[in-house]
Amino acid sequence: MTSNATVLDDEFDYEIDPEDLPQGTPEKGELGDPSVIVDGLHVTYRVVGSKKRGAVTPHKDSILRKFLRKGGALTGGYTEVKAVKGVSFTAHHGESIGVIGTNGSGKSTLLKAIAGLLAPSQGEIYVSGIPSLLGVSAVLMKDLTGERNIMIGGLALGLTRKEVEERFDEIVDFSGLGDAIYLPMKTYSAGMGARLRFAISTAATPDVLMIDEALATGDAGFRERSRQRIDEIREHAGTVFIVAHSLATIKAMCTRVIWMDQGIIRMDGDPDEVTAAYRRYTKENARK
- 260-270 residue pLDDT tens: 999 999 999 99
Find the mean pLDDT for residues 214-230: 72
- Identify whether 46 is part of a domain: no
pLDDT confidence of residue 90: 97
What amino acid occupies position 12?
Answer: F
pLDDT confidence of residue 72: 60
The CA-atom distances, in angstroms, between 132 and each of 68, 218, 249, 257 are 34, 28, 27, 25
Domain of residue 10 covers: 5-34+93-119+206-287
- CATH number, domain of 258, equals 3.40.50.300
- Identify whether 236 is part of a domain: yes
pLDDT confidence of residue 77: 66
Q: Of 114, 151, 149, 152, which is closest to residue 133 (Cα–Cα)?
A: 114
pLDDT confidence of residue 170: 95
pLDDT digits (tens, 9 = 90+) for 2-13: 444 544 444 434
Domain count for the chain:
1
The CA-atom distances, in angstroms, between 275 and each of 20, 91, 207, 265, 267 are 19, 19, 26, 14, 10
Q: Of 133, 155, 107, 119, which is closest to residue 208 (Cα–Cα)?
A: 133
Q: Is the pLDDT of residue 59 over 90?
A: no
- Identify whether 109 is part of a domain: yes
- Identify whether 180 is part of a domain: no
Q: Is the pLDDT of residue 25 over 60?
A: no
- Identify whether 199 is part of a domain: no
- Identify whether 183 is part of a domain: no
H-type alpha helices, 180-265: 190-201, 220-235, 247-253
Q: Is the pLDDT of residue 160 over 60?
A: yes
- Identify whether 218 is part of a domain: yes
Please tell me the pTM assigned to this model: 0.72
pLDDT confidence of residue 129: 62
